């Protein structure tokens, strides 16, 4: 597996173990600190921006490369599974945006909460979600992370404080502020990352929730994943002011290169420290999706293929980390190719296992819709009548 590549012996250790072995250097697993400058400066609104100098390690960079490469491969596989009609209904892919999920996770702990919209597969994986469970959920199998009942838009992992996965545009924003309210009420010292897209940035409920969060100084980071197209509408056609990091007006904001893993990490670390003391902040992640809005959208009618190719060539998040690993002599080209080959095998194996999981039984259809034994009599409701309606 690719993880084993990261755990290989250093050249010196390999030579000591067997002097007859040829000296072959592995992907660095060092935890020695390394400082890297972000690709572009942060742009801020009523707050001083964090430093562009980000502290990292070879191990963290290698792990980020692997995680993003796995996410990319899994999303490409989901595309194929959808076209083979093994995934039905809605399916929103995240390829291109992987640095947001991985960079955010590098800055926080699993005690912090994340809630998002319907482009949620990779965020689930970043929270430690199981690849087989992710693919099984996409295919509607009982082995899925939501028992096959949620599908693409409704991934959850409550033990890692990942609260979905929501299909109604912008509806997760007030829910996320509610999570932050609970964190403050319980004095947990944790925060909530409340993700939404540029298409949801004009929703009224976002501004209502933000007003309450600011009044109560809730520890919530509103993260606008600006991939520049809400469905098929370019941001400049939908928003009079597409500078989403400023849209909070009285709330501080930061514009971040969302295709730069280290910039996302630095911004999220900064934001977490800020909100624990001062209340909400908005992070606008300048990112891009390679696929269309959903599988029914070819993604090429409202933008050119040259535009997509240009982003891939200049700003791809995986290629940026690959370049760092090679530039700092932390890996060779072949070692990274070998890791990607192992990832392809891992995804193929996970697909095969997910296909073995059965579909939910029809008896599951009405379960989890209403709470059983919830004291209906106290509301004057005859339980026998209810049971004739609900099995």
For 86-125, what is each residue's pLDDT tens digit? 999 999 999 999 999 999 999 999 999 999 999 999 999 9
- Where are the chain's structural domains? 27-232+240-364
For 295-324, what is each residue's pLDDT tens digit? 999 998 999 999 999 999 999 999 999 999
- Fold (topology level) of 27-232+240-364: Rossmann fold (3.40.50)
For 59-93, what is each residue's pLDDT tens digit? 999 999 999 999 999 999 999 999 999 999 999 99
Q: Considering the entire predicted model, what is its pTM?
A: 0.88
Lowest-pLDDT range, 36-45, 175-184, 296-305, 379-388? 379-388
Side-chain-facing half-sphere of 140: CA atoms under 13 Å = 15
What does the mean pLDDT of the chain come to? 90
Rounded distance, CA 45 to CA 157, Å? 33
* Radius of gyration, alpha carbons of the chain: 22
31: number of Cβ within 10 Å: 10
Non-local (6+) Cβ contacts of 343 within 8 A are 2, 66, 69, 70, 73
């Amino acid at each position: 597996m690719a993880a084993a590549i990261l755990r290989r012996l250093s050249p010196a250790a390999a030579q000591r173990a067997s002097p007859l072995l040829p000296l072959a250097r592995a992907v660095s697993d060092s935890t020695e600190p390394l400082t890297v400058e972000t690709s572009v400066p942060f742009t801020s609104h009523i707050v001083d921006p964090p430093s562009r100098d980000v502290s990292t390690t070879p191990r963290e960079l290698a792990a980020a490369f692997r995680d993003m490469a796995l996410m990319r491969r899994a999303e490409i596989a989901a595309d194929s599974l959808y076209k083979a009609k093994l995934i039905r209904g809605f399916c929103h892919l995240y390829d291109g945006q992987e640095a947001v999920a991985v960079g955010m996770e590098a800055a926080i702990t699993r005690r912090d909460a994340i809630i998002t919209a319907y482009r949620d597969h990779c965020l689930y994986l970043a929270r430690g979600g199981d690849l087989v469970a992710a693919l099984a959920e996409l295919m509607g199998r009982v082995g899925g992370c939501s028992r096959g009942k949620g599908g693409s838009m409704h991934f959850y992992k409550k033990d890692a404080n990942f609260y979905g996965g929501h299909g109604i545009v912008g509806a997760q924003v007030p829910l996320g502020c509610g999570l932050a309210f609970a964190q403050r009420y319980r004095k947990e010292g944790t925060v909530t990352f409340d993700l939404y897209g540029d298409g949801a940035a004009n929703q009224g409920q976002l501004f209502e929730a933000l007003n309450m969060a600011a009044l109560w100084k809730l520890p919530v980071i509103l993260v606008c994943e600006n991939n520049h197209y809400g469905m098929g509408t370019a941001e400049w056609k939908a928003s009079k002011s597409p500078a989403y990091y400023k849209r909070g007006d009285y709330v501080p904001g930061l514009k971040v290169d969302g295709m730069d893993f280290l910039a996302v990490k630095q911004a999220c670390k900064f934001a977490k420290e800020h909100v624990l003391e001062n209340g909400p902040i908005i992070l606008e992640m300048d990112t891009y999706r390679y696929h269309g809005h959903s599988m029914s959208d070819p993604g090429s009618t409202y933008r050119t293929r040259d535009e997509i190719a240009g982003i891939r060539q200049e700003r791809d998040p995986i290629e940026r980390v690959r370049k760092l690993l090679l530039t700092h002599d932390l890996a060779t080209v072949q070692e990274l190719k070998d890791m990607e080959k192992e990832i392809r095998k891992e995804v193929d194996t996970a697909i095969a296992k997910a296909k073995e999981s059965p579909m939910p039984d029809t008896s599951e259809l009405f379960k989890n819709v209403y709470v059983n034994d919830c004291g209906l009599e106290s509301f004057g409701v005859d339980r026998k009548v209810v049971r004739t309606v609900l099995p």
